[in-house]
């Protein structure tokens, strides 16, 4: 979340930057500034009364020692009144802090200066593209027909077991999933990321720390009895490893990678765009997370973009990198690049990765700080993450783009992981 210093000292800037995200912050920012002034006045009044109380307490003891009992007792009565006033002010202060926190968490992160204005994905800007578009003979089958033909995925059985959006992977389909996961993890480890295997459920504090709560509770599966949430992405548990931590500058960069299933309700999704693997409630994803010094976090963002790009290049998939406009960005992101792969049979681009810099937005919620080596002061770190990669749409593109009359070719980099070079 934004800091009070950001809002208090740059209110017009905050309001104007959030317009890029199509968020009207004027009312909330003015409420925050007004409430913050009142809160600081209450704090000043409390401090003044506490100083008076300390002074009175010292004088009471001195008067008693001097035998001035009446004066001491009169002063003692005054301290009772002071204590009551201080108690009332402390309650007002607690109420003000609570109201202030509730207002501040409603503000999204400020978009980076490079973020273009826009309201929809159609207004995102293409940065570059790569890979070779496949030349398919005859009628190309969509991945759901290929999955049925080669017995790779059974959508109906998944529906029987759980419901729509929970596919069942079979045989070489399951092996391909595992091969991709292992390939991504190995590649990320080679790039310096330490593998972790986090819990798949998190508490409210974790959801708040990375910005999913209170913004996306409608998209998360909630276990009401235990008040826990199924993770929508490994970003949540992995980043929360560092909640309430103080790092040293020598600790940077902190680099983690994790494979997890991910769970999203995807409320309101319907139509042709949810067919097959296009939009699921449960899917596999490998994530990369970095905790970095603010001065170099945007260099780190580019490094992470190159890491994801290298994976798609090795899989020989046609891809493009999109600079998201303000209206298509997440609540917590300052700058996001999406990766899309081309699905030959569907003739459409499918998102397979988002790589984002959250600057200090998550760190402020997490209380994730580091000690500046020069000033020795505590400073908020920057957090970044990216999908490296999300599997469902990637698998859809792999199946569709590599189909031949003889079967489905497997990219060469996966041969050692799958144990086969073709599905036939």
d(CA 47, CA 273): 60
| 382-398 pLDDT tens trace | 999 999 999 999 999 99
Contacts 24+ apart (CB under 8 A), 152-155: 152/176, 152/399, 152/423, 153/277, 155/276
The predicted pLDDT at position 55 comes to 86
- Whether the Cβ atoms of residue 263 and residue 232 lie closer than 8 Å to each other: yes
Q: What pTM, to 2 d.p., does this model score?
A: 0.93
121-423 homologous superfamily = Bira Bifunctional Protein; Domain 2 (3.30.930.10)
The domain segmentation of the chain, as residue ranges, is 4-104, 121-423
Q: What is the mean pLDDT of residues 7-13?
A: 94
What CATH architecture applies to the domain 4-104? Orthogonal Bundle (1.10)
Q: Quick one: what percent of the chain has pLDDT higher than 70?
A: 98
Provide the β-strand partners of residue 335: 357
Helix (H/G/I), strand (E/B), else coil: 385: strand
What is the three-class DSSP state of 66?
coil
Left if phi > 0, otherwise alpha if psi is -120 to 50, otherwise beta: which for 406?
Answer: alpha
Give the pLDDT band (50/70/90) at residue 173: very high
């Amino acid at each position: 979340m934004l800091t009070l210093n950001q809002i208090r000292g740059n209110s017009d800037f905050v309001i104007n930057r959030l317009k890029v995200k199509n968020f009207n912050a004027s009312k909330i920012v003015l409420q925050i500034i007004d409430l913050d002034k009142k809160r600081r006045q209450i704090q000043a009044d409390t401090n003044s009364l506490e100083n008076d109380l300390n002074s009175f307490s010292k004088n009471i003891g001195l008067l008693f020692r001097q035998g001035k009992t009446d004066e001491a007792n009169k002063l003692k009565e005054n301290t009772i009144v002071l204590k009551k006033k201080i108690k009332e002010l402390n309650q007002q202060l607690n109420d003000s802090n609570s109201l202030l926190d509730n207002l501040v968490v409603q503000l999204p992160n400020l978009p980076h200066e490079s973020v273009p204005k826009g309201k929809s994905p159609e207004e995102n800007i293409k940065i570059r593209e790569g890979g070779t578009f496949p030349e398919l003979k005859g009628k190309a089958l969509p991945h759901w027909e290929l999955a049925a033909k080669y017995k790779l995925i059974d959508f109906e059985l998944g529906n029987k077991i759980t419901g729509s959006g929970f596919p069942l992977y079979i045989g070489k389909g399951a092996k391909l999933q595992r091969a991709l996961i292992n390939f991504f993890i190995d590649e990320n480890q080679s790039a310096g990321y330490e593998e972790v295997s986090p819990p798949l459920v998190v508490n409210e504090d974790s959801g708040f720390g990375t910005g999913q709560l209170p913004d996306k509770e409608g998209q998360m599966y909630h276990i009401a009895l235990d008040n826990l949430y199924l993770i929508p992405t490994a970003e949540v548990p992995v980043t929360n490893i560092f909640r309430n931590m103080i790092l040293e500058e020598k600790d940077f960069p902190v680099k983690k990678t994790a494979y997890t299933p991910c769970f999203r309700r995807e409320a309101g999704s319907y139509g042709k765009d949810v067919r097959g693997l296009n939009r699921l409630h449960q899917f596999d994803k490998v994530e990369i997370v970095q905790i970095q010094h603010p001065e170099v976090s945007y260099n780190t963002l580019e490094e992470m973009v190159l890491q994801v790009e290298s994976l798609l290049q090795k899989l020989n998939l046609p891809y493009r990198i999109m600079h998201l406009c303000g209206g298509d960005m997440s609540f917590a992101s300052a700058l996001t690049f999406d990766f899309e792969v081309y699905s030959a049979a569907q003739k459409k681009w499918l998102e397979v990765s988002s790589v984002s810099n959250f600057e200090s937005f998550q760190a402020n919620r997490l209380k994730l700080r580091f000690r500046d080596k020069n000033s020795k002061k505590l400073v908020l770190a920057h957090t970044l993450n990216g999908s490296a990669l999300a599997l469902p749409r990637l698998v859809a593109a792999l199946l569709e783009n590599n189909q031949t009359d003889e079967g489905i070719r497997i990219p060469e980099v996966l041969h050692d992981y799958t144990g086969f070079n073709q599905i036939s």
